[in-house]
Chains A and B, each alone.
Chain A
């Protein structure tokens, strides 16, 4: 490594650079804008207040689940059980509200989040202390939680008329209305959740440590970070958020069967990955997750209105979106990684020319917790 190489590679104060996360977020904003523009050309009367209201209300559940998934993915884990937790929380909260008509919205939300947290802690114990890879644990609990719900429900559904009236009206409560654009309460709650989480990830010591753990577990251990405890609480947090999403699900649908929320786990992963959260851990933001969820929801709700496209394209497109998200993340990683490995390349460490980091992560990034 000659000195000239060194000066090229070493970023000096004057050099301009942008955080990878910002790049991803801006790209997403660009893609969302572009797709809205395209749809407005394809669909008559597309840019209306009603459509804005529909998207903002319907994005809420997926967005909150994307936030939950983001927390977990940052630590280089994955939570495939969120869909089942949504079902459990929605059902049990509905059950609770049916039996306790006195309970208000706040209590209902707390109950739902508590239920989610309890189930999340089960995942957390197994991943953090049992040292079982997250993908195995949550693939297992995806089935297990659903089974428990099914046993509990015994074929009975929660029906809308068993619920207090305010539950079903919740979805239509508008806080402010500007022009034709309503800002619904549920949407503002979701935004609040994102603001709090974004703040926690950026400003709390523990929040930064989640990134550290996902970024380099070995170094995190060396630095003495309480890895197990943090991973445990991440799963509890993910569960609690899934519980909140469960309550919103209840409020939106009203009728809850034992299969409620099935498949949402995949949408949550999709939203997070599309939102630039790395499946390799260590990077991703709440803003990105929200944008990812928004993009997916916009596409889903818009496509059905394009006359030439059948509604059945939804999942196929989702798959393609995820792939595109991963490819973008991978290319970014590789470009940054190449700078690093070009500099770090040494004939002592026996580093082969491929980026070892990327190779090691290439297998099952999120399963080697």
Chain B
């Protein structure tokens, strides 16, 4: 156990923070520890954490995707406007929405992986551009009145008290966890994140891995957009706006290095749970949403600053190896 903790220092620290949050929350509110509240805690942010899973791959791979929230909006807008067009069955509209997400990821991934543009700018352009595309599709309308089964899937529990979105999220998390830490693909993701050149010199198809990751990120954002539409019951052009901050924060707070190559799904899962618990706790204590966002911003900076400071104290003058 001590050995494990030594090798997973950040995860251990996170576990501690999470435990503290839970204890504080539980004392603040008798409702916090209820099963219903846990379902709620995940459900209210389910769209974000679905994208977090994909973003973990993106950042470990040494890239970043700022466009996810806009792609969510874009996918939902594609679905809604296809539906509003009225000629096609709603299921096809959903598929179109998901495809739109994947296509957004493919386009950006192509520019990053094949052309070689920096992901920071490409996805910044994506952040603005896909939000713009969503607005072009919906203008200032709100499209709703989806089929009843769709709203029910989004708004009511499916099995027992567990809603569909939660089932999707947890299965996605499990699959992603296995792929990242037990799969060949995951191994490549780490190696490329450490050094794309080493990977290339070892015969690893660097650009195809990168491309697939961005497609996955787009698809996850698309899925999240569709689920969000189901939960809200209507779609506007601004759906999901500014979610990228929370999403990236959770990944980085989970101990994934912004420079790529390191981090674990366990850390990210713990970080998700921590952030959601803090938001939930603050919510239970009637703290305003905007303040919760500020706390998340502080956490983001702290998650990089604190290790930096600790490292600085440990070795004033790092001794490089010969």
- Contact residues of A with B, CB < 8 Å? 78, 126, 130-133, 135-137, 139-144, 146-148, 150-151, 258, 266, 269-270, 273, 279-280, 310, 312-320, 322-323, 326-327, 330, 352, 356, 358-359, 361-368
Please name all residues of chain A whose beta carbon is closer than 8 Å to the beta carbon of B118 when the two chains form the complex: 279-280, 326, 361-365
Q: Is B170 an interface residue (CB 8 A)?
A: no
How long is the Cα–Cα vector from A342 to B19 in the complex, in angstroms? 56
How long is the Cα–Cα vector from A358 to B296 in the complex, in angstroms? 33
Q: How far is the CB of A9 from chain B (nearest CB, A)?
A: 23
Using A273-B121, A362-B117, A363-B260 as known contacts, say yes or no to A314 and B132 having CB atoms under 8 A apart. yes
Q: Is B233 an interface residue (CB 8 A)?
A: no
Please name all residues of chain A whose beta carbon is closer than 8 Å to the beta carbon of B258 when the two chains form the complex: 133, 135-136, 364, 367
Please name all residues of chain A whose beta carbon is closer than 8 Å to the beta carbon of B98 when the two chains form the complex: none
Task: State which size class the interface on B falls in.
Answer: 35 or more
Please name all residues of chain B whose beta carbon is closer than 8 Å to the beta carbon of A363 when the two chains form the complex: 62-63, 118-119, 259-260
Contact A319 B125 (CB under 8 A): yes
Interface SS of chain A: helix
The stretch of B149-157, B270-278, B297-305 that contacts the partner chain: B297-305
Q: What per-residue 1/0 map shows which CB atoms of B4-47 lie under 8 Å from chain A?
A: 00000000000000000000000000000000000000000000
Please name all residues of chain B whose beta carbon is closer than 8 Å to the beta carbon of A139 when the two chains form the complex: 245, 248-249, 297, 300
Q: How far is the CB of A299 from chain B (nearest CB, A)?
A: 12
Q: How far is the CB of B300 from chain A (nearest CB, A)?
A: 4
Using A313-B132, A318-B128 as known contacts, say yes or no to A140 and B297 having CB atoms under 8 A apart. yes
Please name all residues of chain A whose beta carbon is closer than 8 Å to the beta carbon of B139 when the two chains form the complex: 310, 312
Interface SS of chain B: helix
Residue of A nearest to B244 (CB): A139
- Contact residues of B with A, CB < 8 Å? 62-64, 111, 115-122, 124-133, 135-136, 139-140, 196-197, 200-201, 237, 245, 248-249, 252, 258-260, 288, 290-291, 293-298, 300-301, 304-305, 308-309, 312
Contact B116 A362 (CB under 8 A): yes
Contact B304 A326 (CB under 8 A): no
Please name all residues of chain B whose beta carbon is closer than 8 Å to the beta carbon of A320 when the two chains form the complex: 125, 129
Contact A316 B64 (CB under 8 A): no
Q: How far is the CB of A305 from chain B (nearest CB, A)?
A: 17
Contact A316 B136 (CB under 8 A): yes
Query: What are the 8 A-B residue pairs with the smallest beta carbon separation, nearest first?
Result: A319-B129, A147-B294, A315-B132, A316-B132, A143-B297, A322-B125, A140-B301, A144-B297
Contact A359 B196 (CB under 8 A): yes
